[in-house]
Amino acid sequence: MNQKFNSGGRPPKINATAFRCSVNFTATEQAQLLTMQENSGIASLSAFIKMRVFGKPFKVFVVDENTRIFIDKMSSLNAHYRTIAIDYDLLLKTLRENFTEKKAMAVLAKLERQTIELVQTNCEIVALAKQFDAQWHKV
């Protein structure tokens, strides 16, 4: 005869928070605390304070609009390189199947010059990316 009747309401938590602590801050300390909490990206101030007190790791992501634009452009450039590689393979296959060796060699010489220019441009892009990284991501 051990029956449990539903009394309604929310089910009890397994590890309920029962103890609360109070800390007093000056106005500047409160502003600094709120700034740190906003930069961390954690929505709850109490969760942020718990993480700081107990040393739990959390990551702070700062989004710089210029960095985001740069990364987007680099991603689109990488997609463009993949497209060029696919077109390159298709061109070689077409040359091998449809043209004589003499005509294919003439086109390949032009293609080789364009490829060298593309590699030089890629080296300049890598140098600019390293320069950007050195300038904006100082730690």
Q: Which two tokens stand for residue 28?
A: 């500047």
Domain that holds residue 37: 25-61
What integer pLDDT is reported at residue 58 of this predicted model? 65
Residues 90 and 132 in one domain: yes
Residues 57 and 89 in one domain: no
Measuring CA to CA, how many Å separate 67 from each of 1, 87, 137?
Answer: 68, 30, 10
Whole-structure pTM over 0.75, yes or no?
Answer: no
Average pLDDT over residues 3-19: 79
Angle at 60 between CA 57 and CA 61, to 5 degrees: 145
Mean pLDDT rounded to a whole number for the chain: 81
Angle at 31 between CA 29 and CA 32, to 5 degrees: 65
Whether 12 is covered by a domain: the verdict is no
Whether 95 is covered by a domain: the verdict is yes
Residues 128 and 71 in one domain: yes
Q: Distance between CA 56 and CA 39 in Å, rounded? A: 16
Whether 32 is covered by a domain: the verdict is yes
Percent of the chain with pLDDT over 70: 88
Residues 47 and 71 in one domain: no
Residues 83 and 53 in one domain: no
Contacts of residue 67, defined as CB under 8 A and 6 or more positions apart, other chains included, come to 136
Q: Report H helices in 1-139.
A: 27-40, 45-53, 65-98, 101-136
What integer pLDDT is reported at residue 55 of this predicted model? 80
Whether 6 is covered by a domain: the verdict is no
Q: For 16-33, write each residue's pLDDT tens digit.
A: 888 888 889 999 999 988
Whether 15 is covered by a domain: the verdict is no
Q: Distance between CA 87 and CA 118 in Å, rounded? A: 14
> What is the domain count for the chain?
2
What integer pLDDT is reported at residue 61 of this predicted model? 64
